[in-house]
Structure 1
């Protein structure tokens, strides 16, 4: 679980001790807290060279990376830019808007700061950038772990392959419909928007009670609309939330 609390202490240290945002508790005797993969999964908004100048690491060359515990550059969260400086919300806001990767703050940006489903099909905290770009994983991650890959604003629907938008003619090309229905749902507007067509609900006015207490969270991450789930699964667990008779 990503730690999102703040601990202020004085004293220079190579370990993460001052700001524990976007970290995981490791506690293996060597490292207490280490950066989560989502800490650096995004890109800096401005150039990396400019970020190097604005947010110099505590130890030269040692920036936050998944699993390591180097101290976050002080300028990322203090107005003084030195150890023991008071936390500054304005400095953190500036870091988020310019150099979130260099500061290890990716998980706090709008694209990455949302709730994952309660029972994901994979460990959201260990998802890598390779998985974020993988046709085998992208659609599942968008539904279950949107915060891991910056899918928070996608409504649970993404293209399974990255280059669908390079040639929009595939959306209407004869012989390509099975492909775009599976791999280019967002670009070709094939994302499910309602459950009526797939579940046969029609215009009914009463619904089966939900059997799971997690339906609201699941629905926010696409359970009711993503074609990965069957109408039977929606009916068993979240009939009321998904508006299934």
Structure 2
């Protein structure tokens, strides 16, 4: 990615120009034409019922956030204003994430999705699909290298390769199934290596001071999700807004 493209994208994010999403850009990515929601924006479930969330957060254009679309969020998801442009109100975002993250397209900001991926993953974290998140081939690798891509941030790098393991925990002690559970049911059967750690803990910040921001727009960008938006790499966030984003 060229520096020119990064700067243009950042400016577009700050202004909301030429995109339907115009109020808050968290959990979005720029596709070359407009900002659209990432798969992680809607990968979780609402805490309360979907029906209740749609009452609390009625979409301004009857279209709700979905992976790849650019529907404007309900204003109540992020602001007290009733039209855009509108300033992000942190309390409104916190309430939306706590109750209706999927309806508001904020799943990537929940604790399961808001950690850092490793610096040099074995696959490209930004292109991971929902099918890969559920795949017995990829799940354990993703949990270690790209936990934020599949909502594995709270799993300590330990997940079942087969998602149905927990349906019958007797498999953990079944004679003749131990090779299987050791490979495919490590979380359910407590077979994970004790040295397994999450990407977030492996890369957690231990410094108490940060490099100065190189841009004067960091405060505005941070309010629109720059520090957590996985479209931008950790290196890019650090290069522009190390202090604002608290990156060593």
Paired positions, count = 195
Q: Which one of 22, 26, 43 corresponds to residue 27 of structure 2?
A: 22
Identify the residue that residue 44 of structure 2 maps to in structure 1.
42
Q: Check whether the contact 1:6–1:18 (CA below 8 A) recurs between aligned residues.
A: no
**TM-score under structure 1 length normalisation:** 0.71
Q: Distance in 1 between matches of 2:135 and 2:113?
A: 18
The offset of 1:219, in angstroms, is: 7.6
Q: Check whether the contact 1:37–1:126 (CA below 8 A) recurs between aligned residues.
A: no
Identify the residue that residue 67 of structure 2 maps to in structure 1.
66
The offset of 1:59, in angstroms, is: 0.6
Q: Distance in 1 between matches of 2:21 and 2:173?
A: 52
Identify the residue that residue 231 of structure 1 maps to in structure 2.
none
The offset of 1:34, in angstroms, is: 1.3
- Tell me the SS of whatever aligns to 2:22: coil
Q: Does 1:179 align with 2:180?
A: yes
The offset of 1:76, in angstroms, is: 0.4
Q: Check whether the contact 2:115–2:199 (CA below 8 A) recurs between aligned residues.
A: no
Listed one character per residue, the Cα deviations across residues 44-95 of structure 1 (whole Å, up to 9, x for unaligned) are 11111111111111211x1111121121211100113433333211111110
Q: 1:136 to 1:10 in 2, by over 3 A?
A: closer
Q: Distance in 1 between matches of 2:57 and 2:44?
A: 16
- Structure 1 gap segments, 5+ residues each: 196-215, 222-245
Q: Distance in 2 between matches of 1:4 and 1:170?
A: 50
The offset of 1:191, in angstroms, is: 0.4
**TM-score under structure 2 length normalisation:** 0.70
Q: What's the RMSD between the two structures over aligned residues?
A: 2.9
Q: Distance in 1 between matches of 2:200 and 2:101?
A: 28
Q: Does 1:220 align with 2:202?
A: yes
Identify the residue that residue 92 of structure 1 maps to in structure 2.
93
Identify the residue that residue 33 of structure 1 maps to in structure 2.
35
